[in-house]
Chains A and B, each alone.
Chain A
């Protein structure tokens, strides 16, 4: 009954493109949105993750999928009901020569196609620099291929692409903080978030919250961890906020030291030298989105400038299993003083258990802050790394 009405209505309307609010959206939100909007499309976002999203996603996916993928499917199911012309699910493999994303991203569009009924046509451009040597020209092809679905005007497409690029850069700049600000924060001169709730005479704890952007920024999936930490008197810096060059420096050291290549300032090496050393050893953490996780962890484990590190990870996430191991072994190797907690999330995580773990961790941090060390009773059991398991 409504259908004939809406189709008539739609003729005049803009074409509607749906974005699932999950996974890669959190990295490229500004770029995608401004691109499609500038092309004259109407961007339809799925609503923020909720229990309904989760329940539907869990029903739809295989058990062994990670929590975030399950949520992605939940978001797609919501979008299907929204009467869309297209759904945007890029086959993103890698954007740099020596870095790749999660292999699941490449097959997501295909999986949607074969597991969802009534799915609108998928816009799923494939982009892989590391395998297929994709670069500028591939990007141009993708841009025009998508563009012509919405407009016949090539100039409008170019305009949209440029606008998307600019907005993406601005967004990246806004997300991360520079080293100077970070230094100030580490020295407790400034706060990065709303003032944490602390008792009189106490100072806020400084904690690095490490995890994938799509987990930390999803309030439902992360069980509102930032709010919870704020109420526990904790001020956080997230791994996505960390300055890029600081992270890359850490990463270079990760693989180089073992091959007798100890450079005090690896960022000063020329590109050619870098390539030579890295290729020669074939030893490089090539998961792009793990760089911020390992880099941040290493930075704070080593510098001891903050009170604690909280790592929030998805159960059974493939790339994280690697980066977590790097971070843990690094802490062990340098006998790190800064306590690091690893909290694992999945679709069944209960609010109560999660809160208890956060409280326990913040208590340990406070004790350490007042006495200078982690209490012996705690330390003898778990050292400075607290694997708090699935909650």
Chain B
């Protein structure tokens, strides 16, 4: 039987997953790429999931079922031994799709073990040797850097752009360019150019005095627009610049993991969080707290904490966050999302939060002049 590979939709990183299979030389017609999730996706997913399962499970299941309907029969999903339910996704979804009557093979990837991950991916490649697959995957993690950078740039420029919609146009061009490059060297060269492209193309409002808001929470929700209800765009439209604090780099950044001199971003967060949550409690709970502290120290104005209903690690973080807010004076807006979250209430809360932060900032400034905005001061990587 010929295998048609597929994988769940995962926000902007979907492009990356697609590139993985392309690099492994899986024939183009054998890759079934998930389309951006719609309401229907979430509906199919929720219908077939356990009621209290976390929302990312439901959405990714919906996304997979849609792909399976389109002919896919080999699914790549998370598996292995985890801490929270995330690593159950593959195994449980296997049982569910089996029950629905689909004959699908699952390859569950344990993201904690980069080498195992490589082996699993190699199995679909065009008879790649280990070295060849490392070379192929190297392109992916290099592109991951650029992808993250572009995301941060979008969320910065869109908040202060003069011509509405310009940033999105530029971003699309950057993405297209990025995923058409095949050579690592060129990707690296292009990576350096990306901030320049935005600077040149997007005119920013020099008088703007945007709030700076960080987004913390569970990785899937933070990255998937369908689940966070386009939070970034909503914030940008309120004249706020924002950035997410989680990235897939946490798992895939092999060079940083091997290099003893590089401190991975998530480790910095975890260290900051240690007085509040001492040990890793699954998911991104610790990182959420660490990022709040770090961004406060960098002078940011506030945080939005998005997490799926019934998420265990974020719930632990949520219990401690009021103390962090108290100790550091960093307000955090909790936003629990699930398949029924209404947009009206979401928007009202965001608006009220932004109003509140503006008042707070005015008071803290005590009449001091505002900082001049630029990408260089905004970026803290």
Identify the A interface with B (CB < 8 A).
Answer: 61-62, 64-65, 91, 93, 98-100, 102-104, 106-107, 109-111, 114-115, 124, 126, 128, 130-131, 255, 258, 279, 281-286, 315-319, 321-322, 324-326, 329, 332-333
Cα(A119)–Cα(B260), bound, Å = 40
Given A64-B309, A102-B312, A107-B285, the answer on whether A322 and B83 have CB atoms closer than 8 Å is: no
B320 touches A110 (CB 8 A): yes
What are the 5 A-B residue pairs with the smallest beta carbon separation, nearest first?
A103-B282, A107-B316, A282-B79, A282-B108, A107-B281
- Is B88 within 8 A of A322, CB to CB? yes
Chain A: CB-nearest residue to B309: A64
Q: B51 to chain A: which residues have CB within 8 Å?
A: 321
**B96 interface residue per 8 A CB criterion:** yes
Q: Besides the contacts A62-B315, A282-B120, what 6 more A-B pairs have beta carbons closer than 8 Å?
A: A104-B312, A106-B316, A131-B280, A258-B94, A282-B116, A325-B92
Given A100-B81, A114-B319, A324-B50: A106 in contact with B282 (beta carbons within 8 A)? yes
B278 neighbours in A (Cβ, 8 Å): 91, 109-110, 124, 126
Q: List 11 A-B contacts (CB under 8 A).
A: A64-B315, A106-B281, A110-B276, A111-B316, A258-B94, A281-B108, A282-B80, A283-B108, A285-B91, A322-B50, A332-B99
Map CB proximity to A onto B46-57 as digits: 1 under 8 Å, 0 otherwise.
Answer: 000111111000
- Measured between beta carbons, the chain B residues less than 8 angstroms from A255 are 91
Closest chain B residue, CB of each to CB of A126 = B279
- Which residues of chain A are near B79, meaning CB under 8 Å? 281-283
A88 to chain B, nearest CB (A): 15
- Closest chain-B Cβ to A54's Cβ sits at a distance in Å of 18
Contact indicator A329/B88 (Cβ below 8 Å): no
A-B contact count (CB 8 A): 143
List the A side residues contacting B91 at CB < 8 Å: 255, 282-285
B52 touches A321 (CB 8 A): yes
Q: Could you tell me the distance in whole angstroms from the C-beta of A61 to the nearest C-beta in chain B?
A: 8
* Contact residues, B54-87 vs A (CB, 8 A): 54, 79-85, 87
Whether the pair A321, B53 counts as a contact (CB closer than 8 A) is yes
Please give, as numbers and ranges, the residues of chain A lying within 8 Å of B322 by CB-CB distance: 114
Q: Are B279 and A62 in contact (CB under 8 A)?
A: no
Contact with A321, one of B81, B85, B336 (Cβ below 8 angstroms): B85
Instruction: Please determine whether B110 and A282 come into contact, CB atoms closer than 8 angstroms.
Output: yes
Assess whether B95 is interfacial by the CB under 8 Å rule. yes
Q: How far is the CB of A91 from chain B (nearest CB, A)?
A: 5
Most chain B C-beta atoms within 10 Å of own C-beta, residue among A107, A316, A321, A333: A107
| Size bracket of the B interface | 35 or more
Report whether A318 and B84 are in contact in the complex, using a CB–CB cutoff of 8 Å.
yes
Query: In the complex where A103-B281, A106-B281 touch, is A322 in contact with B92 (Cβ < 8 A)?
Result: yes
Whether B203 sits at the interface, judged by CB under 8 Å, is: no
- A329 and B52 in contact, given A282-B80, A282-B90 (Cβ under 8 angstroms): no
Are B52 and A318 interface neighbours, CB within 8 A? Answer: yes
Closest CB in chain B relative to A329 CB, distance in Å: 5
Q: How far is the CB of B83 from chain A (nearest CB, A)?
A: 5
A375 to B195, CA, bound (A): 70
Given contacts A126-B278, A282-B79, contact A104 B99 (CB under 8 A): no
- B316 contact set on A, CB distance < 8 A: 103-104, 106-107, 110-111
CA A258 to CA B96, docked complex, whole Å: 13
| Cα distance A26–B329 in the bound complex, in angstroms | 39
Q: Which residues of chain A have C-beta atoms less than 8 A from B50's C-beta?
A: 321-322, 324-325
With a CB–CB cut-off of 8 A, which chain B residues contact A325?
49-50, 53, 92, 95-96
Residues of B within 8 A of A103 (CB): 83-84, 281-283, 285, 312-313, 316
Could you tell me the distance between the alpha carbons of A104 and B279 in the complex, rounded to whole angstroms?
11
CB of B318 within 8 Å of the partner chain: yes
CB distance from B284 to the nearest CB of A (A): 12
Contact A333 B83 (CB under 8 A): no
Q: How far is the CA of A91 from the CA of B81 in the complex (A)?
A: 19
Task: Tell me the bound Cα distance from A99 to B283 in angstroms.
Answer: 16
> What is the distance, in angstroms, from A263's C-beta to the closest C-beta of chain B?
18
> Does any Cβ of A come within 8 Å of B109's Cβ?
yes
- Interchain CB contact under 8 A, A100 and B83: yes
When the two chains form their complex, are residues A329 and B277 in contact, meaning their CB atoms are under 8 A apart? Answer: no
Does B323 sit at the interface, judged by CB under 8 A? yes
State the Cβ distance, B118 to closest chain A Cβ, in Å: 13
Determine the distance from Cα of A62 to Cα of B224 in the docked complex, in whole angstroms. Answer: 25
Minimum CB distance partner of A64 in chain B: B315
Q: A106-B281, A111-B320, A255-B91 are in contact. Are A283 and B312 (CB under 8 A)?
A: no
The B307-359 residues at the A interface (CB cut-off 8 A) are 309-310, 312-313, 315-320, 322-323, 336
